[in-house]
């Protein structure tokens, strides 16, 4: 992805899962837990629930033209996003999958010296806090925005406006960083924010360089 043209960036809003860490096994565990939740409320076998969710996701993606979040698929199937997250809190064990990476910790520490850092995630506050603590990233961010603040999952323009309002900076001064363009970046970009797609560690670590060269 080409570098953003930065006009005096003052704040950076990071997505969490898939952005500040990449872990396919934990991502699969989150998917698996969502299947278990849908299986439970629908009275389906795990396998049938998985097939139903895959088909539903494909249909919603076809209709909307954008990739669909777990929250959207869950709601479409009659699930309750709040219940889903309570289920996640009880069953998911990020500590069993994630690995602390000193390079990411140092990156955020350096960035925090020049920018206000925030997290904006479709994960819930309990798990976000656990993951941030476990990864050693808890001390460097100014604020965390989670799905349970409003129960409006990304992508959501009102929520992005709310995040910008809370940060108190104009859109062009706030860089959004995420691993899914449609979910994390499209709306911020439409509102005038610079955006940076990061889908692996190399891209995340390159962010610092991009910020330097864009000045």
Q: How far is the CB of 178 from Mg ion (least distance, A)?
A: 6
The conformation of residue 21, written as its DSSP 8-state character, comes to: B
Radius of gyration, alpha carbons of the chain = 17
Nearest-CB residue for Mg ion? 18
Q: How far is the CB of 15 from Mg ion (least distance, A)?
A: 4
Number of residues that bind Mg ion (CB under 5 A): 4
Contacts to Mg ion from residues 8-67, by CB under 5 A: 15, 17-18
Give the pair of three-digit tokens for residue 141: 């961010």
Query: Closer CB to Mg ion, residue 114 or residue 200?
Result: 200
Query: Closer CB to Mg ion, residue 42 or residue 152?
Result: 152
201: exposed, middle or buried (C-beta count within 10 Å: 0-12, 13-18, 19+)?
middle
- The DSSP code sequence of 54-93 is HHHHHHHHHHHSS---HHHHHHHTT--HHHHHHHHHHH--
Query: Closer CB to Mg ion, residue 116 or residue 123?
Result: 123
Contacts to Mg ion from residues 154-183, by CB under 5 A: 179
Contacts to Mg ion from residues 57-116, by CB under 5 A: none
Give the pair of three-digit tokens for residue 170: 């104009």
Query: Closer CB to Mg ion, residue 17 or residue 210?
Result: 17
The conformation of residue 30, written as its DSSP 8-state character, comes to: H
Query: Closer CB to Mg ion, residue 14 or residue 115?
Result: 14
Q: How far is the CB of 7 from Mg ion (least distance, A)?
A: 26
Q: How far is the CB of 122 from Mg ion (least distance, A)?
A: 7
184: exposed, middle or buried (C-beta count within 10 Å: 0-12, 13-18, 19+)?
buried
Residues of the shown chain interacting with Mg ion in the complex, contacts defined by CB under 5 A:
15, 17-18, 179
């Amino acid at each position: 992805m080409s570098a953003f043209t930065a006009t005096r960036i003052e704040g950076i809003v990071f997505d969490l899962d898939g952005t500040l860490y990449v872990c396919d096994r934990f991502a699969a565990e989150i998917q698996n837990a969502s299947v278990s939740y849908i299986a439970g409320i629908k009275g389906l076998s795990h396998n049938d629930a998985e097939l139903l969710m895959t088909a539903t996701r494909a249909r919603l993606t076809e209709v909307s033209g954008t990739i669909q979040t777990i929250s959207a698929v869950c709601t479409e199937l009659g699930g309750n996003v709040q219940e889903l997250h309570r289920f996640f809190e009880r069953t998911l064990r990020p500590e069993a999958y994630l690995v602390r990476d000193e390079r990411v910790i140092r990156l955020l520490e350096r960035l925090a010296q020049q920018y206000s850092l925030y997290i904006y995630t479709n994960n819930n506050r309990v798990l976000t806090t656990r993951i941030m603590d476990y990864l050693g990233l808890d001390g460097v961010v100014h604020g965390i925005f989670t799905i349970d603040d409003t129960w409006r999952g990304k992508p959501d323009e009102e929520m992005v406006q709310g995040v910008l309002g809370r940060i108190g900076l104009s859109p062009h001064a706030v860089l959004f960083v995420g691993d899914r363009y449609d979910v994390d970046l499209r709306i911020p970009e439409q509102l005038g924010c610079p955006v940076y797609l990061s889908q692996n560690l190399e891209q995340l670590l390159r962010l610092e360089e991009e910020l330097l060269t864009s000045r």
